[in-house]
Structure 1
Amino acid sequence: MAFDEMMTADGAPREPYKDYYDWYSQQDPSLLIAKSRDAENIFRKTGITFAVYGHADSSEKLIPFDIVPRVISGGEWRKLAAGIEQRVLALNAFLKDIYHKQEIVKAGRVPRRLIEENDAFLPQMMGFEPPGGVYTHIVGTDIVRTGEDQFYVLEDNARTPSGVSYMLENRETMMQMFPELFYKNRVRRVEDYPQLLRQSLATLAPPGFSGTRPRVAVLTPGIYNSAYYEHSFLADMMGVELVEGSDLRVIDGKVKMRTTRGYEAIDVLYRRVDDDFLDPLTFRPDSALGVPGIMDVYRAGGITIANAPGTGISDDKAIYSYMPEIVEFYTGQKPLLENVPTWRCSEPESLAYVLDNIADLVVKEVHGSGGYGMLVGPTASKKELEDFTAKLRARPANYIAQPTLSLSTVPILVKKGIAPRHVDLRPYVLVSDRVRIMPGGLTRVALKEGSLVVNSSQGGGTKDTWVLED
């Protein structure tokens, strides 16, 4: 039985939801359904869309939005925030270490092959330390809940975490439709994220910067990228330029942007372009999305790139399985937030267990994301189980496996009222001279009854996340 975050087993609302539940109980369901349609119209007019590539229909789609908020108490959030901060600091220390002395490898806590044979590990970053020693400027940590006080980290997103624009638009839409609820429930703010993001990025200007206000820009692959809405939204909200690779060039040892006044230097580049495409002179020579020579400028101290190239190795799900050891190695403390138990299929004993129990497990590609390349054993067909078994036998090191967790549920609005659906949570973290964690984050919800897959590309939706003041 999944843990219901709103209602107890005897049908009473839990403490964080009491004010909301009292309000909901007095509402006309038909009016709430109408409000839900209003929210959809707001999203449609605003242009909040995404695309799913590789499908026959790859047109822009609306992410379904549910108007029933997820509510988290101040006490619950403090525990989560402490664990997230510990984990993010450990990840940054890990990245610094593997690109320098590799003490964790020498100590035998993480296998050398897992670093050196990883496609996301960039030898070009060896011996180089980014401005301020920060590798992971923006992190999205995916959290799942299974009980009253049981939270687990599902995965780390330290490369280019997406979705923060939906967090912000969800909040704005809810405040527009239900202003009275925010006054009554004392909900903590997330609206200042864009300003905090700009401040955080500007704090880490490169050593070569000598002015008073660093110039920040957002680098996008372009309008055909599935997250282009978010790129343009964040640039607009921060008040900075949105640029493509063709807008930039290296001149006199600086990365400069084409303007009506000629080329002007950029100091900090928030890039939403993957490592492989960042610099055709260093990585993929066929890339038209990046800037030729930007890595030379970066290593010479002429620009800050956020997140740093090479951070993608910390997103690897095999690396994830070592996070308890990584946290303890760099902090000297036990993790405050636990990992989901994980079997590394590269290890013969683990592989044997996974093959014997595949129908009960979730199997994931170590580099997978967005719910793709994944098997959910309990809901898979016999043919899917057989196909995945063959994949495991052929390339065991490409997979990890985890138990099928009973994810917590929160209510969504349906025609007959409210109904429970499974959720996860992606809080957003900014790292510069300090760690800033947005109170809440993006709650992703599986809209299909019984489904555990919350990704928008797999039919999931989103909802506003309320962290309450004490």
Structure 2
Amino acid sequence: MNDSIGAEIGLPGYDPQGFYCEIFGGPRGAAPPSPAIQKRLRALDTRDLSSRAQAAADELYNLGITFTVYTEREAIDRILPFDVIPRLIGAQEWTRMEAGVKQRVTALNLFLHDIYHDQKIIKDGVVPEHLIVNNKNYRPQMKGVDLPHGTYVHVCGIDLVRGSDGNFRVLEDNARTPSGVSYVIENRHMMLRAFPDLARDIGLRDVDEYGARLHQAMHEVAPPDLSEPQVVLLSPGIYNSAYFEHIFLAREMGVPLVEGRDLEVENDRVFMRTTAGRAPVHAIYRRIDDDFLDPKTFRPDSMLGVPGLFEAYAKGNVTLANAVGTGVADDKAVYAYMPRVIDYYLDEEPIIENVETHICGEEEGLKFTLDNLEELVVKPVGESGGYGILIGPQASKEELAQFREKLKADPHNFISQPVISLSVCPTLVDGKIEPRHVDLRPFCITGADSWVLPGGLTRVAIKRGSLVVNSSQGGGSKDTWVLTE
């Protein structure tokens, strides 16, 4: 470790190792967002920091802020590791990021409306037809279904990474059921309780209106001519990995949390069973995948959904958020075409660029990937949570050989990207402040128009040197501070 760097920035022992640092800037001299916070961090005693961090972790567990890793059945209640040193975003940088997220969500909604209606983008040769109609998340049942305001993606999480040049790029789009916003809000509450001295008088953007904004958007997309539409949150139940978040969001919106067994459909209208009898339901924020929503339309063996729900939805008697079939936009191969999608629908350049991406289903992309496998990150197009990824520089010869065969056998299932030198943030690990790699997931809510939660979920790779930030792979989270000036 280079102690001279730590001494130079006033945090002895801390060495960003040439990566862009989210608090102290980058090797190319990028301006840090807040000298005041830097000064306060330098004044913190690591023993006091560790003590308060442990108290924060204990409180998170006692509050039930947990998630489940399905591959570890014995660990039903696990807290998402929370690091107490925040990540900073300056006001000007946030303005640009917010515009970029809104632009991308606008294009995604236009794209989804098109592929389920006229398919002009396919006919004009911008996106290959096979990429859409052969996608496992494409739902032919959605053809011709018109949605209020043309909104398919009501809640979107756009994963961003910052490279060594200091610029943010889009890593992937999460348009089905993006999770993690509960941690954003709870992390903030925890920080304000545990570290009021760090946050005091710095001009910090608030995150508490998310629930109200989501509720407002659900009202805007509900069937028309309703003075007070009934909104509910549909959850698969207590054993879902994000069940804490379902409870949290229902409370934040002030709406009932229901499971499939609590709803029924009669004459193509949805009703909720209550202690006072049946009550009509007009808008459903669902956290159940398409396949399990309605056993009459999708998987007949589903015990989680509501028989007849899709027919009521297709006839416009209830709104589902996110819309059925939005998973096409989650696909990592479709992601590679997003710059062209934005240009096609909006006649604009992307405000936030994609990470360079090679589509292995195309001859040129496959050849490049096979020729440079040791230097690339290769991802299956339909997976999430960090599963099935090959990080070439960290892989053994045996792993590379096995993955090479997978690519040859099913090239359409993979994309490849260069290894990004992810930015780092000071992180408290075993009583020491060390750099750890981070990404960022801003959340955008869309009803009649779009609103972006200031900041988002900063995920942090707790393991030294790791680039994998997913909670299912051992990652944690930080509070994300967007500054007003």
Match of 1:444 among 459, 464, 484: 459
1:106 aligns with 2:123: yes
**TM-score normalized by structure 2?**
0.94
Residues 214-229 of structure 1 correspond to what in structure 2 (within 5 A)?
A: 214-229=229-244
Kindly indicate whether residue 444 of structure 2 is the aligned counterpart of residue 429 of structure 1.
yes
2:33 counterpart of 1:16: yes
Please show how residues 232-271 of structure 1 align to structure 2 within 5 Å: 232-271=247-286
* 8 A Cα contact 1:6 1:13, kept in partner: no
Give the direction of change, closer, same or farther, for the CA distance of 1:14–1:335 in structure 2 (3 Å limit).
closer
Equivalent position of 1:456 in the other structure: 471
Contact 1:138 1:158 in 2 (8 A): yes
Offset of residue 381 of structure 1: 1.7
Partner in structure 2 of residue 314 of structure 1: 329
Q: Write the distance in 2 (CA, Å) between the matches of 1:265 and 1:459.
A: 42
Q: 1:227-282: per-residue Cα shift (whole Å, max 9, x none)?
A: 11111111112111011101110023311111011111111000000001111100
Taking the aligned partners of 1:199 and 1:183, their CA distance within structure 2 comes to: 31
CA distance in structure 2 between the aligned counterparts of 1:378 and 1:214, rounded to whole angstroms: 53
Aligned mate of 2:47, from 24, 30, 34: 30
Q: Distance in 2 between matches of 1:327 and 1:10?
A: 32
Structure 2 counterpart of 1:202, one-letter code:
H
Map residues 177-326 of structure 1 onto 2, 5 A cutoff.
177-207=194-224, 210-326=225-341
In the alignment, which residue of structure 1 is the partner of 2:7? none
Tell me the residue number matched to 2:373: 358
Contact 2:234 2:259 in 1 (8 A): yes
Q: Distance in 2 between matches of 1:70 and 1:323?
A: 28
Cα deviation digits, residues 420-449 of structure 1 (max 9, x gap): 111000000000111100110000000111
The equivalent residue for 1:398 is: 413
Q: Is the 8 A contact 2:377 2:391 kept in 1?
A: yes
Distance 1:10 1:260 in 2: 62
Pairwise CA distance, 1:149: 4.2
C-alpha distance in 2 between matches for 1:303 and 1:6: 46
CA change 1:443–1:256 in 2 (3 A) is same
Kept in 2: contact 1:324–1:335 (CA 8 A): yes
**Could you list the runs of 4 or more consecutive aligned residues of structure 1 that deviate by over 4 angstroms after TM superposition?**
8-14
Q: Which amino acid aligns with 2:288?
A: V
CA RMSD of aligned residues (A): 1.6
Counterparts of 1:9 and 1:193 in 2: how far apart (Å)?
Answer: 32
Q: Is the Cα–Cα contact under 8 Å of residues 5 and 14 in structure 1 kept in the other structure?
A: no
Deviation at 1:10, TM superposition (A): 8.1
Contact 1:13-1:21 at 8 Å conserved across structures: no
The residue number in structure 1 matching 2:97 is 80
Unaligned runs of 5+ in 1: none
Aligned equivalent of 1:370: 385
Once residues 283 and 415 of structure 1 are traced to their aligned partners in structure 2, the CA distance between those partners, rounded to angstroms, is: 48
Alignment size in residue pairs: 468
Could you list the runs of 5+ residues in structure 2 that have no partner in the other structure?
Answer: 1-17
Percent of aligned pairs sharing the same letter:
50
For the residues of structure 2 that align with 1:295 and 1:158, how far apart are their CA atoms?
19
Q: TM-score, normalised by structure 1?
A: 0.97
Deviations 1:317-363 (A, max 9, x none): 01001001000000001111111111111112221221121111100
**Contact 2:110–2:150 at 8 Å: present in 1 too?**
no
Partner of 2:71, secondary structure, is coil
